[in-house]
Amino acid sequence: MPSNEEGRLIEACRCLDLGLPKKEEWLELDDERCSSISADFKALSDPIRIRIMDMLDHGPLYVCLIQHLLDDISNSKLSYHLDILKKADLVEGKREGHFILYSLSKKGKVLFNELRSIHDRE
């Protein structure tokens, strides 16, 4: 006789007109890929980071310009947000003399534009 858990599983499958699903048929993403996708969403889960991505979508900017456009956000707060975006490989920085020029990475550009496009369709 099946346990309550097994009974609910069997009933759920019957309601959906399914046989017992096999994990490999329903779970296409491996753990590493799920973690990577989750990290991307976490990196984009703050309005300040969304604003940074939006600004960089127009073209590369130096930190002082990003700081100015964000109403003079503190250096430490801006560094914190840029670091999260860099670790997620959404933004890249290139040193030019005393300044660092930030731009969207290829991955960042594609992901940001896809998310904005999805949001704009709503």
pLDDT digits (tens, 9 = 90+) for 31-75: 898 888 899 899 999 999 999 999 999 999 999 999 999 988 899
Buried b (16+ CB within 10 A) or exposed e, 36-46: eeeebeebbee
Tell which residue, 113, 91, 110, has the closest CA to residue 102. 91
Q: Does the pLDDT of residue 20 top 80, yes or no?
A: no
Within 10 Å of residue 23's Cβ, how many Cβ atoms?
A: 6
Give the pLDDT confidence score for residue 1 in this predicted structure: 45
The CATH number of the domain covering residues in 44-121: 1.10.10.10
Q: What is the pTM of this model?
A: 0.77
Give the pLDDT confidence score for residue 27 in this predicted structure: 74
Residue 79 pLDDT grade (very low, low, confident, very high; cuts 50, 70, 90) = very high
* CA–CA dist 59, 51 (Å, integer): 13
